[in-house]
Chains A and B, each alone.
Chain A
Amino acid sequence: MGLSTASARIRSVQPVSLGLLLIAAVYLGFLSGYPGGFGPLVAGIAVVFAAGLRVGAPRGVAAYAPVPVLVALAVEAVPAPLGLGTELLAGLSGLAFLLWLADDPTRTVGGAARSLPTVAVPALALGIAWSSALFLPAGAVPLGVAGGLLALTLAAVAFLVGRPAVFDREEG
């Protein structure tokens, strides 16, 4: 395979992941219920500003580019009305955010494609959660099970994040 001419010093926008994030965030903003088009406006500004930071700002400042996107997504998701479509869109926004992170302009192109094994796990969990919400009957028992699973997941994540050596495999 020949060497690619991609240089780590060339910072370029990757339009696919950026477009996905923009569409997902703006649509979530639209569904969030803020009056006067405030939601889509905030989402659009946050994503464009973050993309500009990543491409144009010095490295130290560019590292903070995910912050406005995360804040905008959180601000839109919290007041969003109940609904399966809204929930699915919120989850997809999270996945689009991960893909956008993977297309780091300071690294080699194709980051989004290489991140698929990482993004696949949350995508699978999201699929299971959403289909459970869609197909399971409403009631106290399923809610309790879901709550228990959520607490378990949080505890597992907290444990794993606190002990990164768990991911190390002993050399034979």
Chain B
Amino acid sequence: MSEPDSRSLRWRPLTPLVLSVGAALVFAAVLTRNPTPLFLALPLLLAPVAAALAGPRRAPSVRIDLSVEGAAAEVKLQGSVVPEPGVDARDLVLEVDRPPGLVGDPAPTFDYSKGEIRFHAVWTAPEPIITEVDVPRVLWRDAVGLVERETTASASPIVVTRYPPELLRIGAVRLERTTLLPGETPSRRIGESGEFHGIRPARPEDPPRQINWRASARAGRALANEYDLDKTGDLLLILDARPTPLGREVDARLFAIARAAAAGLSDSFLRVKSRVGLGVFGEFLDVVPLSTGRTQRIRIETALRHARLASVAAPAERCAVAARHRFPPGLTTVIFSSLSDDSSEDLSPYLRRRGFPVVVLSPSPLPIIAASSPLSGAEEELAARIARLVRRDRIARAWEDSPTIDWDDYWSLGRFVEFVRRPRLRRA
């Protein structure tokens, strides 16, 4: 038996109610031999069929435009829905979902006209976030509310990224190079990443688009085009997605904050044509190889949006070995880790031993823990002081291996930006 099409006509819960009362009235009329209930039953029985006949006979198509505006923590969603000609926009019902991680009135404000629905919502991101606003669900519903149909919408989800504003300027920092020649260096990408530089013997891994077929025909051997890319350096971002004793909920929030910061960092460096790579280390290291350009930005953004916390904590050495396989040594590496237990502190020494100069950016769990603390008054103050001391001790121990920035104000990364702007300090 085939599945019913979700865009077929659907009876709303009101319809069975109306029909059953209509049917009961018919039986009552027959039993009491009184036609009055029949006259009341007639509109109730015919209305659902009439509503189905009066509406569109197939899923109406609608055009949805979505945009997100606002700065810092503010997320302003604006959009419009325009149905196909012949469909009244006032008969459409919109369901807009507020993405998890944002707060504020979940219901947007709607302005209806005959040909269009405009809506807007103002939400707030309490912490840095990278998330997705789903395309609103649009239903056609008859005016009486007896039948409905799904519509066919042409739109795609929109990504919301909010991170500390200091990251917008961090791209100007000079990063360590992993190539021998300063200035122009060969690009691994084709065409869009740089100007044509010259011709070289083709390698087996060269894609067909990179082969210079005319030059190959003249020379009698396979030759490939080489492109130049002006870039300032390379950056590797590694997110520690292993579980910690803090618990699933706190881990998830810290990981979400780290993902947003990683998105901001990659955005800024990709804007100045640096090459950026990404690694998410849970049970294994999932990587986005080094590259640059708009496509790389989308790749990293997608990887960050889909990154999830692992359920099993893997040894840090596995991350270092995998990183050495996938990335050249000498890359400036930023590790995002909460440093909540001893195993998370291991990541930076292992990576350093494999040749990666590491800076650790550690989102502090203290603000999250303090906000959900059941204690009050002097007890809370004492607990907070002890937690700060423990945290300070962890950061000090982590500093012995590599520079470590304690990130406790989630909307400010001033200390981190200051640090990476001083290359000498960074190298030390």
Q: Which residues of A does B touch, CB under 8 Å?
A: 1-9, 63, 66-67, 70, 73-74, 77-83, 86-88, 90-91, 93-95, 97-98, 101-102, 104, 107-108, 110-112, 114-115, 117-123, 125-126, 129-130, 133, 150, 153-154, 156-157, 160-161, 164-165, 167-171
Cα distance A111–B143 when bound, in Å?
Answer: 5
Question: Do A114 and B88 form a contact, CB below 8 Å, given A126-B42, A130-B39, A161-B15?
Answer: yes
Chain A residue with the shortest CB-CB distance to B142: A118
A4, B45: Cβ atoms under 8 Å? no
Cα distance A90–B21 when bound, in Å?
Answer: 14
B9, A102: Cβ atoms under 8 Å? no
Cα distance A171–B58 when bound, in Å?
Answer: 8
A3, B144: Cβ atoms under 8 Å? no
* Choice from B8, B14, B107, B115 contacting A168 with Cβ under 8 Å: B8
Tell yes or no: B23 within 8 A of A by CB. yes
B47, A122: Cβ atoms under 8 Å? yes
Tell yes or no: B37 within 8 A of A by CB. yes
The interface residues of chain A lying within 8 Å CB-to-CB of B142 are 115, 118
Would you give the shortest CB distance from A124 to chain B, in whole angstroms?
9
Question: Do A91 and B39 form a contact, CB below 8 Å, given A1-B114, A118-B54, A153-B45?
Answer: yes
A125, B46: Cβ atoms under 8 Å? yes
**Can you name 15 extra interface pairs (CB under 8 A) apart from A117-B50, A161-B49?**
A78-B25, A87-B35, A87-B38, A97-B43, A102-B144, A102-B145, A107-B143, A114-B143, A118-B54, A119-B47, A122-B47, A126-B42, A126-B43, A157-B45, A165-B9
Chain A residues touching B, majority SS:
helix
Cα distance A90–B91 when bound, in Å?
Answer: 29
Question: Do A7 and B42 form a contact, CB below 8 Å, given A74-B37, A86-B36, A104-B145?
Answer: no
The interface residues of chain B lying within 8 Å CB-to-CB of A114 are 88, 90-91, 143
The interface residues of chain A lying within 8 Å CB-to-CB of B53 are 121, 167
Stretch at the interface among B26-34, B172-180, B378-386: B26-34
A74, B40: Cβ atoms under 8 Å? yes
Question: Do A160 and B52 form a contact, CB below 8 Å, given A3-B118, A168-B57?
Answer: yes
Cα distance A74–B21 when bound, in Å?
Answer: 8
Question: Do A133 and B35 form a contact, CB below 8 Å, given A118-B51, A167-B57?
Answer: yes
* Choice from A90, A97, A115, A122 contacting B36 with Cβ under 8 Å: A90
Would you give the shortest CB distance from A89 to chain B, in whole angstroms?
8
Question: Do A117 and B110 form a contact, CB below 8 Å, given A77-B25, A78-B34?
Answer: no
The interface residues of chain B lying within 8 Å CB-to-CB of A78 are 25, 28, 32, 34, 36-37
Cα distance A118–B88 when bound, in Å?
Answer: 14
A154, B45: Cβ atoms under 8 Å? yes
Cα distance A164–B93 when bound, in Å?
Answer: 20
The interface residues of chain A lying within 8 Å CB-to-CB of B50 are 117-122
Chain A residue with the shortest CB-CB distance to B56: A169
Cα distance A107–B91 when bound, in Å?
Answer: 9
Question: Do A169 and B57 form a contact, CB below 8 Å, given A3-B116, A77-B25, A101-B145?
Answer: yes
The interface residues of chain B lying within 8 Å CB-to-CB of A7 are 109-111
The interface residues of chain B lying within 8 Å CB-to-CB of A129 are 38-39, 42
Cα distance A107–B28 when bound, in Å?
Answer: 34
Would you give the shortest CB distance from A30 to chain B, in whole angstroms?
14
Interface mask (B86-116 → A, CB under 8 Å = 1, otherwise 0): 0010110100000000000001011111111
The interface residues of chain B lying within 8 Å CB-to-CB of A70 are 17-18, 21, 44
Question: Do A91 and B43 form a contact, CB below 8 Å, given A3-B113, A114-B90, A160-B49?
Answer: yes
